[in-house]
């Protein structure tokens, strides 16, 4: 019975760590944004330079802990690290649930969004199984020789760091956000007919004969006019349905909100997403200007969407001698749309047809057939994922081959 519980605990805790580490590794920029929110909430602005390193390190540590537990490698050390890791984050998430300094802990990246209380109770459950492993760790050992474990650990480290580096250098290997390729933005902003509505509780404070009393809508003394209204307060009881996309607004400096107009266009629309124009370097501005010119030749609308001010946009055009048309959007939402500043978004009838990091912008020639360029990009990404899968498989295979050789040598 206890052996089964230990086995189940090891697999359960390990699988959770693998998933958590992997979804963070495929989006290290998103992890850095979340860590930035933590530092800001706890007044640790002086640590902001650690946002990206901390994001990558956390993803790698979680993934390695999980993979070691599942495959029974460096088991005792992994159990100890997992226990203290969970102890720290269980306490932290209890604090987050009570005081709510950040709305989402980001424990599963954008793959699964949990409230702070849901995250805390999730950690409590994991902590139970991590504790069982920790207090019975003397009965747990790895069956593999030390050299095999070292080789396996090296391959797994290279694997997860490779995913993090690729996703940082280009775009997330797997996009869990509502703006992933193939997503229809208007559909993501819509409300289903049977969507639950938010529920509120209103409390009225009335006064009579110098005494104040609280009433609600059910027991409000409508017929007793001797009560005098003092104040009222409204409390949110149930959040109701929130669409996946709820802050997507494109403001034109002269025409105002043109979001619906752009979303309903059947011809391609190219949006350069740049939360801050100061992040765009001169060589990137030149390439974007060439794409802008090529798009105009194909009657393709081309805008830069930014949260920078209109004065900053005008200064940008003057500095780089460009003629970009600008739209304004919410900074947080722009960072969610694409993990690149600048990044390029291709929309066709409101559907995200292509996304490009500034390190992987399409050529000017590709603008003649933007949809073809987007499909080719997706094929390349699929091929890269297959190659990564093969590397992962080879790492596992190498471990078992080495173990087999060790066994054969002993028998001989």
Read off the pLDDT of residues 121-170 as tens digits, 9 standing for 90 and up. Answer: 999 999 999 999 999 988 888 888 888 888 889 888 988 999 999 999 99
pLDDT of residue 412: 39
How do the residues of the chain divide into helix, strand and coil, expressed in percent and rounded to 5? 55, 15, 30
User: Is the domain of 257 the same as that of 124?
Assistant: no
Give the mean pLDDT of 261-267.
91
pLDDT of residue 411: 43
> Which two structure tokens, joined as six digits, stand for 368?
């003649």
User: Is the domain of 297 the same as that of 263?
Assistant: yes
| Per-residue pLDDT tens over the stretch 295-315 | 998 889 999 999 999 999 999
Asked whether residue 408 carries a pLDDT value surpassing 60, the answer given is: no
Confidence (pTM): 0.85
pLDDT of residue 399: 63
User: Is the domain of 210 the same as that of 161?
Assistant: no
**Of residues 404 and 5, which shows the higher confidence score?**
5
User: Is the domain of 328 the same as that of 223?
Assistant: no
Residue 291 within a domain: yes
User: Is the domain of 18 the same as that of 154?
Assistant: yes
Residue 158 within a domain: yes
Asked whether residue 38 carries a pLDDT value surpassing 60, the answer given is: yes
Which of these, 358, 278, 271, lies nearest to 311 by C-alpha position?
Answer: 278
Residue 186 within a domain: no
Residue 388 within a domain: no
User: Is the domain of 161 the same as that of 67?
Assistant: yes
pLDDT of residue 403: 63
| Per-residue pLDDT tens over the stretch 172-228 | 988 999 999 999 999 999 988 887 888 888 899 999 888 899 998 888 888 888 888
| Rounded distance between C-alpha atoms, residue 412 and residue 410, angstroms | 5
- Domain boundary residue, one of 211, 238, 265: 238
User: Is the domain of 64 the same as that of 145?
Assistant: yes
Asked whether residue 269 carries a pLDDT value surpassing 80, the answer given is: yes
Q: What CATH number is given to the structural domain containing 339?
A: 3.40.30.10
User: Is the domain of 259 the same as that of 348?
Assistant: yes
**Of residues 346 and 146, which shows the higher confidence score?**
346
**% the chain with pLDDT above 90:** 54
pLDDT of residue 406: 52
Query: 233: helix, coil or strand?
Result: strand
Strands (E), 155-263: 199-208, 211-215, 228-238, 251-252, 256-257
As for how many domains the chain has, the answer is: 3
- Domain boundary residue, one of 190, 212, 238: 238
Residue 384 within a domain: no
User: Is the domain of 163 the same as that of 260?
Assistant: no
Query: In the chain, what is the straight-line distance between the N-terminal and C-terminal CA atoms, in Å?
Result: 37
The domain in which residue 212 lies consists of: 199-238
- Domain boundary residue, one of 212, 238, 264: 238
User: Is the domain of 261 the same as that of 234?
Assistant: no
Any idea what the Cα angle at residue 383 is, between residues 377 and 387, rounded to 5°?
145
Residue 133 within a domain: yes
> Mean pLDDT, the chain, as a whole number?
89
User: Is the domain of 53 the same as that of 131?
Assistant: yes
Residue 141 within a domain: yes
Residue 276 within a domain: yes
User: Is the domain of 154 the same as that of 12?
Assistant: yes
Query: In this structure, are residues 97 and 116 in contact, taking their beta carbons and an 8 Å threshold?
Result: yes
């Amino acid at each position: 019975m206890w052996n089964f519980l230990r086995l189940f605990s090891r697999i359960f805790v390990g699988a959770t760590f693998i998933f958590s580490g992997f979804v963070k590794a495929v989006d290290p920029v998103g992890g850095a944004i979340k860590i930035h929110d933590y530092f800001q909430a706890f007044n640790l602005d002086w640590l902001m330079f650690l946002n990206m390193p901390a994001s990558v390190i956390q993803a790698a540590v979680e993934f390695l802990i999980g993979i070691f537990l599942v495959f029974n490698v460096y088991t005792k050390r992994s159990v100890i690290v997992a226990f203290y890791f969970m102890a720290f984050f269980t306490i932290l998430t209890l604090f987050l649930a009570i005081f709510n300094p950040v709305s989402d802990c980001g424990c599963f990246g954008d793959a699964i969004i949990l409230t702070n209380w849901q995250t805390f109770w999730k950690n409590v459950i994991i902590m139970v199984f991590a504790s069982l492993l920790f207090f019975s760790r003397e009965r747990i050992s790895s069956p593999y020789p030390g050299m095999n474990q070292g080789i396996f650990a090296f391959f797994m480290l290279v694997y997860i760091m490779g995913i993090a580096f690729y996703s940082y250098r280009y775009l997330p290997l797997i996009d869990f956000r509502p703006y992933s390729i193939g997503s229809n933005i208007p559909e993501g902003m819509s409300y289903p007919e049977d969507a639950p509505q938010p529920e509120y509780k209103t409390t009225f404070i009335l006064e009579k004969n110098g005494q104040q009393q609280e009433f609600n809508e059910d027991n409000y003394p409508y017929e007793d006019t001797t009560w005098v209204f003092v104040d009222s307060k409204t409390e949110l009881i149930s959040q109701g349905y929130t669409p996946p996309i709820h802050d997507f607004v494109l403001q034109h400096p002269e025409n105002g909100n043109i979001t619906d107009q752009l979303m309903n266009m059947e011809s391609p629309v190219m949006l350069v997403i740049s939360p801050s124009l100061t992040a765009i370097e001169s060589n990137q501005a030149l390439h974007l200007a060439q794409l802008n010119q090529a798009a105009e030749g194909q009657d393709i609308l081309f805008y830069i969407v930014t949260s920078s001010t209109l004065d900053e946009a005008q200064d940008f055009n003057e500095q780089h001698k460009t003629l970009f048309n600008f739209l304004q959007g919410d900074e947080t939402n722009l960072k969610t749309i694409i993990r690149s500043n600048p990044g390029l978004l291709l929309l066709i009838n409101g559907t995200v047809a292509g996304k490009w990091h500034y390190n992987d912008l399409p050529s000017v020639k590709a603008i003649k057939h933007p949809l073809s360029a987007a499909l080719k990009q997706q094929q390349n990404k699929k091929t890269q994922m297959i190659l990564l899968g093969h590397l992962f498989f080879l790492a596992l295979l190498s471990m078992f081959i080495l173990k087999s050789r060790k066994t054969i040598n002993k028998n001989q």
